[in-house]
């Protein structure tokens, strides 16, 4: 049976093109890598290289034909030993529908036997699906191995004659060039791309042959995705931001840590307070003073909590988890710090008990240690609020008629407007700010 030469896809969005010119005519012998035709699109003019060896038995689409659909048969190639009689049994199939671009940016084709090569240097070529007898819809893994196979693994370099000549002239090492032709064959466009990317005598740019790999979703990641999507779709968020001056708090933290160093904890090590510990305490006291913000929204009623239980976001390898500090308003700073360190350590080891991360009435997420100054956190349903804590930074402010360097930190409160109104959320945020800027009140 003759081999069908089909209209190649020259870009992920191409559905049709113009068969501008036939370089070979009926009866001409062709070898793999030889240019047989030229294709035009609105973006580039491309040379088409033969993939298989044989004789042009019949040209189906004449030169100059416009609007030729991708995957349409444009010519028939007779294999070795075949003659014109082999064409008698061939019948044209129904014209293919416009090729669909996949999420990987590759066109799917039938029995394609040509490889497109860019002839316009200023226009970058696009990978097209050109593997002979390729499946209609290649899977991601097959696509990766089929189109991105390194040329050095087989012991020889697979390249078209034209690509070899250009590479030799420009001093390009073909073993370091990734081929986009059938079976990983290097074509002219690949060599020209390597040259533009510095792959000539000036150096070689290598590319990882594995273009991508899939990471299966863990159960934890699926739960996180479902809950965050639910939150953003069903909870009417609004956001409030305040700026807190941190100098008094940082001074008190230094004094407390110096004192703790002199008086070791139960394990023989001093309890070292972090800024996060102090923010947790300030938030817990503010919720104690403003219990109407310590709530959750349900369709039939709003639940107001009698205890201040704060969920603190902890990053783990599997995703985010929020262990709970229960009765945080009643615990000392050292007790909160010790408990938080223990919960965070066991969270990263996946050793938390369900009751240690399920529940809670309010959440805190701190990205300040990563240098993030300000962000808006997503509410953790059914809770009504979450506090996003940014990094502390030095700024210059006017104080008593003189400029002074002040440490400031931004806090952003995300609020469920169904449960907490704007003014109520602002009052809570002002209370948190008060405890942070006057930290001695946390010790009363």
Would residue 62 count as lying in a domain? yes
* Residues with pLDDT less than 50, the chain: 97-113, 118-150, 152-154, 202
What's 101's DSSP letter? B
Match 């690949």 to its residue by tokens. Answer: 190
Annotated active-site positions, please?
417
Quick one: pLDDT at residue 435? Answer: 97
> Of the candidates 137, 161, 196, which is a domain's last residue?
196
Would residue 209 count as lying in a domain? no
> Of the candidates 196, 228, 247, which is a domain's last residue?
196
Quick one: pLDDT at residue 134? Answer: 36
On whether both 34 and 67 belong to a single domain, the answer is yes
Domain count, the chain: 2
On whether both 236 and 291 belong to a single domain, the answer is yes
CATH of the domain at 386: 3.30.559.10
On whether both 240 and 188 belong to a single domain, the answer is no
Coil vs helix vs strand at 258: helix
pLDDT tens digits for range 61-112: 999 888 888 888 888 888 877 777 778 777 766 555 444 433 333 333 334 4
Would residue 391 count as lying in a domain? yes
On whether both 155 and 296 belong to a single domain, the answer is no
Would residue 211 count as lying in a domain? no
Distance, CA of 121 to CA of 194 (rounded, Å): 12
On whether both 340 and 436 belong to a single domain, the answer is yes
pTM, two decimals, is 0.58
On whether both 302 and 243 belong to a single domain, the answer is yes
On whether both 281 and 430 belong to a single domain, the answer is yes
Distance, CA of 276 to CA of 336 (rounded, Å): 10
> Of the candidates 196, 229, 261, which is a domain's last residue?
196
Quick one: pLDDT at residue 322? Answer: 94
Quick one: pLDDT at residue 130? Answer: 31
On whether both 234 and 185 belong to a single domain, the answer is no
On whether both 182 and 225 belong to a single domain, the answer is no
On whether both 233 and 364 belong to a single domain, the answer is yes
pLDDT tens digits for range 311-354: 999 998 888 999 999 999 999 999 999 999 999 999 998 888 88
Distance, CA of 252 to CA of 245 (rounded, Å): 13
Coil vs helix vs strand at 413: strand
Would residue 277 count as lying in a domain? yes
Quick one: pLDDT at residue 335? Answer: 95
On whether both 186 and 306 belong to a single domain, the answer is no
Provide the residue range defining the domain that includes 353.
220-443
Would residue 365 count as lying in a domain? yes
User: Are the beta carbons of 96 and 70 closer than 8 angstroms?
Assistant: yes
Would residue 363 count as lying in a domain? yes
Would residue 208 count as lying in a domain? no
On whether both 232 and 192 belong to a single domain, the answer is no
Quick one: pLDDT at residue 133? Answer: 35
Q: At what angle do helices 161-170 and 188-196 cross, to 10 degrees?
A: 20
């Amino acid at each position: 049976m003759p081999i069908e030469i089909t209209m190649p896809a020259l870009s992920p969005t191409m559905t049709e093109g113009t068969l501008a010119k036939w370089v070979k005519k009926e009866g001409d012998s062709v070898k793999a890598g030889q240019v047989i035709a030229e294709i035009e699109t609105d973006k580039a003019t491309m040379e088409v290289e033969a993939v298989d060896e044989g004789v042009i038995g019949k040209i189906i689409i004449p030169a100059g034909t416009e609007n030729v659909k991708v995957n349409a048969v444009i010519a028939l190639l007779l294999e070795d030993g075949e003659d014109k009689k082999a064409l008698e049994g061939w019948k044209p199939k129904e014209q293919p529908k416009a090729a669909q671009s996949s999420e990987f940016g590759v066109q799917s084709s039938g029995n394609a036997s040509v490889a497109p090569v860019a002839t316009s240097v200023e226009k970058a070529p696009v990978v097209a699906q050109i593997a002979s007898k390729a499946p209609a819809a290649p899977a991601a893994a097959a696509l990766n191995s089929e189109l991105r196979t390194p040329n050095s693994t087989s012991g020889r370099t697979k390249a078209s004659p034209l690509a070899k000549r250009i590479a030799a002239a420009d001093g390009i090492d073909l073993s370091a060039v990734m081929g986009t032709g059938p079976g990983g064959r290097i074509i002219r466009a690949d060599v020209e791309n390597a040259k533009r990317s510095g792959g000539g005598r000036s150096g070689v740019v290598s590319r990882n042959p594995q273009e991508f790999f899939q990471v299966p979703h863990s159960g934890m990641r699926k739960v996180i995705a479902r809950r965050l999507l639910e939150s953003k779709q069903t909870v009417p968020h609004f956001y409030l931001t305040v700026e807190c001056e941190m100098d008094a708090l940082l001074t008190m933290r230094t004094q407390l840590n110096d004192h703790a160093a002199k008086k070791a904890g139960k394990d023989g090590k001093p309890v070292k307070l972090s800024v996060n510990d102090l923010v947790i305490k300030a938030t817990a006291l503010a919720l104690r003073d403003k219990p109407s913000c310590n709530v959750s929204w349900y369709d039939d009623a709003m639940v107001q909590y009698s205890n201040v239980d704060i969920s603190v976001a902890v990053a783990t390898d599997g995703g985010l988890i929020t262990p709970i500090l229960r009765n945080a308003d009643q615990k000392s700073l050292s007790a909160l710090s010790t408990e938080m360190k223990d919960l965070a350590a066991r969270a990263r080891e996946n050793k938390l008990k369900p009751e240690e991360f399920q529940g809670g009435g309010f959440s805190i997420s701190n990205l300040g240690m990563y240098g993030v100054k300000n962000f808006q956190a997503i509410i953790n349903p059914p809770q009504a609020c979450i506090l996003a804590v940014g990094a502390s930074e030095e700024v210059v402010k006017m104080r008593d008629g003189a400029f002074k360097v002040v440490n400031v930190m931004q806090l952003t409160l995300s609020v469920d407007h169904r449960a907490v109104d704007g003014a109520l959320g602002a009052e809570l945020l002002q209370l948190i700010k008060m405890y942070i800027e006057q930290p001695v009140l946390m010790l009363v």
